Structure 1
Amino acid sequence: MPAEFRVSRRAWTLAVCGVIVAALLAVAALVPLPFSIAVPGGTVNVLGNDRGKPVISISGTATRKTTGQLRMTTIVATGPDATIRLGDVLDGWFDEERAVLPRDSVYPVGDSVEEIERHNLADMRESQDDATAAALRYLNRSDDDIDVRLRLAHVGGPSAGLLFSLGIINKLDGDGRGGDLTGGRTIAGTGTIAPDGTVGPVGGVELKTLAARRDGATVFLVPKDECSEAKANRPEGLKLVPVTELKDAVSSLRALSTGKGEVPSC
């Protein structure tokens, strides 16, 4: 009798624990979580047009006709007021075309949707100014006689800086040897840019590589510090080229274009 009682008590304890765990999981499945779900976004060729208008317009000096493409990449994340639950998070973790990101890393804490949009547009404007400064500095050109205008509709943030700079350089100087910096290829990438040409990380590269390959890119320029993230989800047929400075990106593209010189890889 005592042995049977001990078995029954053990079974009862396990049953109670199971009910508690099930209840906790049920509650967890309903509680909103502080995450955003991101997916690959659109890409835009900065050497071409966006919504019918040139992305890069240059006046005050001669420009050259370009070939190939330089595509900036984006991700699309759920809004700051979206409700994300445990099921969404689990789905994102097991889907290579979705990423689960802390909401704080995507949207500043406490900001409204309107404030976030203003913040992103301000970042984009600053990035455009920095991209122009970095490109002209690389070319040893003065902005006194050169007017560069950058236009990209409905895209915020600083992550297009590197591609903007490369686009300006390509329109003004190409590969520096009479050819095109792209070598006729579709090149994609991401990265912030500082006026001195320093390339910085941006996040979301594991999704941006998917967007790049989807839209025909065979080469992806990635901030060196984010190589591991890019490699983790690299689609077949996409070469990852790490960069730390604008001159690194130009040198790598020149080597790819001419077939001469070493091209680093993540």
Structure 2
Amino acid sequence: MPRRTATLLTSVLLLIGMLCAGVLIQVPYAEMSPGPTVNTLGDHDGEPVLSVDGEETYESSGHLNMTTVRVTGINYRMNLLEAVHGWLADDRAVVPHETLYPENVSADQVEERNAEEFTQSQESAKVVALRALGYEVPEQTVVAAVVEDSPAQDALHAGDAIIAVDGTEVTEPGQVAELVTEHEPGEDVVFSVVPAEQAQEAMNGGGELPEETSEVTVTTAEAPDDQRAIVGIQAGLAFSLPFEVDIKLADVGGPSAGLMFALGLMDRLTEEDLTGGEFVAGTGTIDDQGVVGPIGGISMKIIAAREAGAEYFLTPSENCATAAEHVPDGLTLVEVDTLDDALAALESIRGGDTDRLTECETAG
């Protein structure tokens, strides 16, 4: 065999071997890519994303798109070839697997956590939007969760309204732990509660809880990490909305759509278009005080937004520096810290006064 042919054959065989190795070798990485964007003012799968029953709503000509990121599944293992392709691509991000999926967390636990965060983001968005529009939204401290095999199991239940602990009136969730830890482990704590079903019915009817309460005694245990007295519950807030608000968006999880849900709801309840007909997208968590928090996958979300047609992107301030390093042409990144910041930005956009916008800048 001629030397040139032998050399070529050897090179081809080496290349085939390297490609096979690249396919067979698994690496501990996961991949993120741009996901779908959904207009919170429009329909998704034939149904309105935001629907209101019991209050007048208005149509909007603009867009307030929430954005998503596609990620490889918890059980998927990338091969070396896929990882190299992702590293070289502009619209992909390859990150260590544990960045998205911490060790000792199952697929079911990830799905459950994402669903819980999505539900909580919807509730916070509703509350902060309605309060910003001047509606009364009463709140009540409740049992948010009961730890399995804890002293409170079968005694207290998720949704129970906590009126008092040891006779001391409870006005906010943080008080519950403070009052419990005044005890020594093994001592009894008396909770005055309105059972979950009655509390839910009362909250839905306008927020007035019945005066009669049930007294529930729970014997405290010792916390596993220190000597604190605990009963094994997490306290939270339940809210009484003045009318029904429904958010329908399947196959989406996590808390990052909170800001856009809040803005979408405000737009539906406001006669004037908040966007002035412009295409605005964005992301960010939101709490019931209107504070906007950072999210993951920002570089993928701004790509998705621009591909969908967005010209402005509302960006949590803590994500601004990273986003500004990868901003697509034609997209203006607007920095926001609060719901009020986002509303002020929309006012500038619909008024054509975009010089007033606070744009994201790189860290340097």
- Would you call these one fold, judging by a TM-score over 0.5? yes
Distance apart, 1:91 and its partner CA: 2.2
Kindly provide the amino acid, as one letter, of the partner of residue 72 in structure 1: M
- Which stretch shows the higher mean deviation, 204-213 or 60-69? 60-69
Which residue, 67, 70, 88 being the options, matches 1:76?
A: 70
Structure holding more helix per residue: 1
1:57 to 51, 60, 68: 51
Q: What are the ranges of 5 or more consecutive residues in structure 1 without an aligned counterpart?
A: 1-25
Match for 1:182 among 257, 275, 282?
275
- For 1:148-205, what per-residue CA distance to the aligned partner results, in whole angstroms no more than 9, with x for missing partners? 111111111111101000001111125xxxx311110111111111110010111111
Report deviation, 1:223. 0.5
Matched residue SS, 1:255: helix
**1:263 positional shift:** 1.1
2:105 aligns with: 111
Structure 1 residues 133 and 105: alpha-carbon distance in aligned structure 2, compared to 1, 3 A threshold: farther
- Aligned residue pair count: 237
| Alignment partner of 2:115 out of 90, 103, 121 | 121
The amino acid across from 1:140 in the alignment is G
**Partner residue of 2:285?**
192
Aligned residue among 321, 342, 358 for 1:249: 342
Aligned residue number for residue 323 of structure 2: 230
Counting only pairs closer than 5 Å after superposition, residues 67-216 of structure 1 correspond to structure 2 as 67-143=61-137, 144-173=241-270, 179-216=272-309
Deviations 1:33-55 (A, max 9, x none): 33211110101111111111111
Separation of aligned partners in 2, 1:33 and 1:141: 52
**What is the match of residue 166 of structure 2?**
none
Q: CA deviation at 1:61?
A: 1.7
In the TM superposition, what is the alpha-carbon distance from 1:141 to its structure 2 partner?
A: 1.1
Residue 12 of structure 2: aligned partner: none
Q: Is the 8 A contact 2:125 2:287 kept in 1?
A: yes
Aligned to 1:7: none
What is the identity, as a one-letter code, of the residue corresponding to 2:136? Answer: S
Whether contact under 8 Å (1:96, 1:233) holds in the other structure is no
Q: Secondary structure at the match of 2:327?
A: coil
- Paired letter, 2:50: I
Q: Which residue in the other structure is 2:32 paired with?
A: 38
- TM-score when normalising by structure 1: 0.83
Greater strand content: 2
What amino acid does structure 2 have at the position aligned with 1:42? P
Q: Which runs of 5+ in 2 are unaligned?
A: 1-19, 138-240
CA distance in 2, matches of 1:212, 1:113: 28
Bigger Rg, which one: 2
Q: TM-score, normalised on structure 2?
A: 0.62
Report SS of the residue matched to 1:121.
helix
Report the Cα distance in structure 2 between the residues aligned to 1:28 and 1:52, rounded to whole angstroms.
Answer: 43
Deviation, structure 1 residue 31: 4.9
Percent of aligned pairs with the same amino acid? 41
SS in 2 for 1:87: helix
* SS at 1:241 equivalent: strand
Distance in 2, matches of 1:245 and 1:102, equals 31
Give the aligned CA root-mean-square deviation in angstroms. 1.9
Q: Name the aligned partner's letter for residue 35 of structure 2.
A: G
Q: 3-state SS of the aligned residue for 1:58?
A: strand
Change (3 A) 1:184 1:116: same
Q: Partner letter of residue 164 of structure 1? A: F
| Aligned-partner Cα distance in 2 for 1:109–1:148 | 37
Query: For residues 352 and 35 of structure 2, what CA distance do their matches in structure 1 show?
Result: 31
Distance of 1:52 and 1:181 partners within structure 2: 24
- Is the CA contact 1:108–1:116 (under 8 Å) kept in the aligned structure 2? no
Aligned partners of 1:127 and 1:41: how far apart in 2? Answer: 19
Output the amino acid matched with 2:349.
Answer: L
Amino acid across the alignment from 2:270: D
User: Do the aligned residues in 1 keep the contact of 2:125 with 2:288 (CA within 8 Å)?
Assistant: yes
Aligned-pair CA distance for 1:94: 1.8
Shift of the 87–147 alpha-carbon distance from structure 1 to 2, 3 Å rule, reads: same
1:59, distance to aligned residue in structure 2 (A): 2.0
Contact 1:46 1:56 in 2 (8 A): yes
One-letter amino acid matched to 1:156 = G
